Amino acid sequence: MDAESRLLSIADPSRPNAGRIYDYMLGGHHNFEVDRQAAETVVQIAPFMSKSLILIRWFLGEAVRRLINQGHDRFLDFASGLPTMEHIHEIAPPGTRVIYSDIDPVTVEYGREILGGNPNVRYVECDAGRPEDLLGSGVPEPMFGQERRLAIGFNGISYFLPDETLRHALRTLYDWAGGGSSLFLCDADADMSRVTDKIKTVFDIYSKIGQPIYIRPKERLFELAAPWRIEEPGPLPLDEWVDLGKVYTPEEQAEYGGTGFFGVIFRK
């Protein structure tokens, strides 16, 4: 599928969309019946997937709180989805500047409607695989001024990007960001040769809606993210980030052919 066809697929409200499936699993209301049906199919095949998607959003909240405590007050977020359910601007203190972005124009329009006239938040359309389109758009300067020490969110999108696209995106952000910037993201640590047939069926669903999933071991992610440096406490399973103890059973973890979803914060 070429880039134009992929975008048309994402923007088509008559076809399931990964972002709206995610919204439904989070308990949101900005989704269509076709998204709800796809989400229920995924959950029937792999019931723990809804738990995983909720943990991804909880990790975002924990990362944002940590970065705020480190003095960050400017956030640039990619593949933001809908700005509901404990998103950055709801967690951060008043005055924090946030730019959200998403490839789906339907999501962007919904997002702008939800945000209303909040002067400290912008929502723009951007493909996370091409962050240069946002960085060169003229949007960051009015929001951030000349300050480029940013907290950059790349949460729940890495596994929708092939390796070279992900490498390009993360290096572009590194080169543009100022010293002391942070990058927080989650990915799925998995070996495709060990992924179970159950999980492969889930991957097939996403491929059919034009949003294939790319699986990689976490060591490969770290190679792609260089020269971003891993910050303490290092890569942790999502349930450890939010201090819930062990959320996944060993059987559920084994489905991924690895340790499953993890979160990590990088520093420039």
pLDDT tens by residue, 199-250: 888 889 989 888 899 989 999 999 999 999 999 999 998 888 987 666 666 6
Question: Mean pLDDT throughout 170-184?
Answer: 98
pLDDT average, residue stretch 154-163:
94
Separation of alpha carbons 100 and 82, rounded Å = 9
For residue 132, what pLDDT is reported? 98
pLDDT score for 244: 62
Q: What is the pLDDT of residues 9-65, one digit of tens each?
A: 555 678 888 878 888 888 877 788 999 999 999 888 888 778 888 888 899 999 999
Query: What DSSP element (H or E) covers 21?
Result: helix 18-25
Is 146 part of any domain? yes
The answer to whether residue 1 sits within a structural domain is no
What percentage of residues in the chain have a pLDDT greater than 70?
Answer: 91
> Does the pLDDT of residue 95 top 80, yes or no?
yes
Residue 7: the pLDDT is 47
Q: Is the residue at 40 inside a domain?
A: no
Q: Is residue 213 part of a domain?
A: no
- Asked which of 65-79, 190-204, 235-249 is least confident by mean pLDDT, the reply is 235-249
Predicted pLDDT at 24: 86
pLDDT level of residue 1 (50, 70, 90 thresholds): very low
Q: Which CATH number belongs to the domain containing residue 107 in this structure?
A: 3.40.50.150
Mean pLDDT of 160-179: 97
Closest of 110, 84, 87 to residue 11, by C-alpha:
110
* Predicted local distance difference test score (pLDDT) of residue 210: 85
Residue 168 domain flag = yes
Residue entry with tokens 């909720």:
54
Q: Work out how many domains the chain is built from and give that number.
A: 1
Residue 252 pLDDT more than 80? no
Two tokens, residue 102: 């998403």
Residue 98 lies in a domain: yes
188 pLDDT higher than 50: yes
Q: Helix (H, G, I), strand (E, B), or coil: what is residue 116?
A: coil
Q: How big is the chain by its Cα radius of gyration, in Å?
A: 17
> Does residue 163 form part of some domain?
yes
Q: Is the dihedral of CA 91, 116, 181, 218 positive or negative?
A: positive
Structural domain range at position 155: 48-198+218-267
- Examine residue 6 and state whether it is found in any structural domain, yes or no: no
